[in-house]
Amino acid sequence: MSPKPELNKPNTTQICSRCILDSNDDSEITFDSNGVCNYCHEYDAVAQKTLLKNTQTQQKELNKIISLIKDKGSKNKYDCLIGVSGGVDSTYLIYMSKKLGLNPLIVHYDNGWDSELAVINIENIVKKLDLDLVTYVNDWQEFKDIQLSFLKASVVDIELITDQAILAVLYDTARKYKIKYILYGTNIATEATLPKSWYHWKIDLLNITSIQDIFGKIPLKTYPKLGFFKHYFITKFLKIENIHLLNYLDYNKKNAKETIIRELNWKDYGGKHYESIFTRFYQAYILPKKFNIDKRKAHLSTLICSKQITREEALIEIQKPIYDQRKLRDDYEYVIKKLGLTENEFEKYMSLPVKPHTFYPSYFNRHYKYQKLLSNFIKTIFFISKKTK
């Protein structure tokens, strides 16, 4: 019988007076004289710089971006590329890109954990919007071995291996089809806030390969890779650009859901990123039990800052269970079986002392310093060459 996770432990010291993050969520969180946390202030700074509240200005910037994408992609079959998971943000982004007259190529990274609903949603998107889809399927035994390595390493961001692979697949596909623009569903309005101790830098390939070298059994042959230098080459020399298009729209989560349900027959998963079986188990069980992290607090706090919900509504929502207990037990049994573990083996990994990602080789150790020096050197060379022309 799988254990029941203990969720929502009431062990707060100080809670932000504006959002619902508290001093137990991040050891480095700070509060001003009014009790407002640094993450709220960081949201305001980013939103003021990025989000265009003036409707005319917003429309002008949006038109400029759409025209640029169309012009640069006029000779290609596709003018942009979008990754799809089947979730709200990527689905709405694809829907709006078509509505705005773009012709995107859709890319999906299959790591073996797609839920049945995710598959159905992606099929509906492609069919109803008449899109071309490229799917990269990772060898399951290989990906499973990397996930086991991260469990053994006892680091917080197990999803790092999926997020890094998605980025690698997007860039590789863009290069293959000579596409200059990659559109992302990540946005300020619904997901700007996330305590820094809850995640790791998404292109720290050194961290991934080092953990796999220490704990893994299978060499990484099909796993997509995007390191610092490759990323620098693609973005600076090949000039493939990333655009977070939802930041140029009046993006409201509730309205977006209603639109894609109505227009694309989209089905709701019941949680952010729950289109992946492993992701929902990671967020509903691994994070709260092992790391004392409830990611809903960050998601709800962002929605408070963007005025999509009230603080009172968030406080009521956070008291609800993260996930239905019966479904969570089903996921528990399914995940450990698919990973080839016994319950005792899995819980042994869960009880290991938590280690920071930088406990293992990482770009944030000495390598990052050298890469920053190289980056500054390249920028200097570019500046000198421009001055001499």
Is 157 in contact with 357 (CB distance < 8 Å)? yes
φ/ψ of 364, rounded to 5, equals -85, -5
Residue 114's DSSP bridge partners are: 276
User: Would you state the pLDDT for residue 50?
Assistant: 83
CA angle at 106 for the pair 60 and 97, rounded to the nearest 5°: 20
- Rounded to the nearest 5 percent, the helix, strand and coil shares of the chain are 55, 5, 35
Question: Nearest to residue 157, comparing CAs of 269, 49, 291?
Answer: 291
| pLDDT tens for each residue of the chain, 389 residues long | 344 444 333 445 799 999 999 999 999 999 999 999 999 999 999 998 888 666 778 889 999 999 999 999 999 999 999 999 988 999 999 999 999 999 999 999 999 999 988 899 999 999 999 999 999 999 999 999 999 999 999 999 999 999 999 999 999 999 999 999 999 999 999 998 999 999 999 999 999 999 999 999 999 999 999 988 899 999 999 999 999 999 999 899 999 999 999 999 998 876 565 778 999 999 999 999 999 999 999 999 999 999 999 999 999 999 999 988 999 999 999 999 999 999 999 999 999 999 999 999 998 876 555 555 555 654 554 444 444 44
Is 208 in contact with 160 (CB distance < 8 Å)? yes
Question: Which residue reads 């001055």 in tokens?
Answer: 387
Category of 63 on φ-ψ map: left (φ > 0), alpha (ψ -120 to 50) or beta: alpha
Category of 70 on φ-ψ map: left (φ > 0), alpha (ψ -120 to 50) or beta: alpha
DSSP code for 77: S
φ/ψ of 132, rounded to 5, equals -95, 140
Residues 370, 222, 273, 198, Cα dihedral to 10°: -30
Residue 107's DSSP bridge partners are: 83, 134
Question: Nearest to residue 183, comparing CAs of 96, 236, 232, 245?
Answer: 245
Domain boundaries along the sequence of the chain: 55-293+324-370
Is 190 in contact with 257 (CB distance < 8 Å)? no
CA distances from 114 to 109, 122, 220 (A): 10, 10, 21
Distance (Å, rounded) from C-alpha 5 to C-alpha 11? Answer: 16
**Around 168, how many Cα atoms within 13 Å sit in the side-chain half-sphere?**
23
User: Would you state the pLDDT for residue 386?
Assistant: 44
At 106, is the secondary structure helix, strand, or coil?
strand
Which letter, b or e, does each residue of 25-54 get, where b requires 16 or more Cβ atoms within 10 Å of its Cβ? Answer: bbeebebeeeebbbbbeebeeebeeebbee
User: Would you state the pLDDT for residue 381?
Assistant: 47
> Based on C-alpha coordinates, what's the Rg of the chain?
21
pTM over 0.85: yes
Is 24 in contact with 292 (CB distance < 8 Å)? yes
Is 171 in contact with 213 (CB distance < 8 Å)? no
Residues in the chain: 389
User: Would you state the pLDDT for residue 4?
Assistant: 42
User: Would you state the pLDDT for residue 260?
Assistant: 96
For 55-293+324-370, which CATH class? alpha beta
Question: Which residue reads 């009521």 in tokens?
Answer: 316
Tokens linked to 74? 């006029």
User: Would you state the pLDDT for residue 3?
Assistant: 44
User: Would you state the pLDDT for residue 272?
Assistant: 60
Distance (Å, rounded) from C-alpha 125 to C-alpha 342? Answer: 38
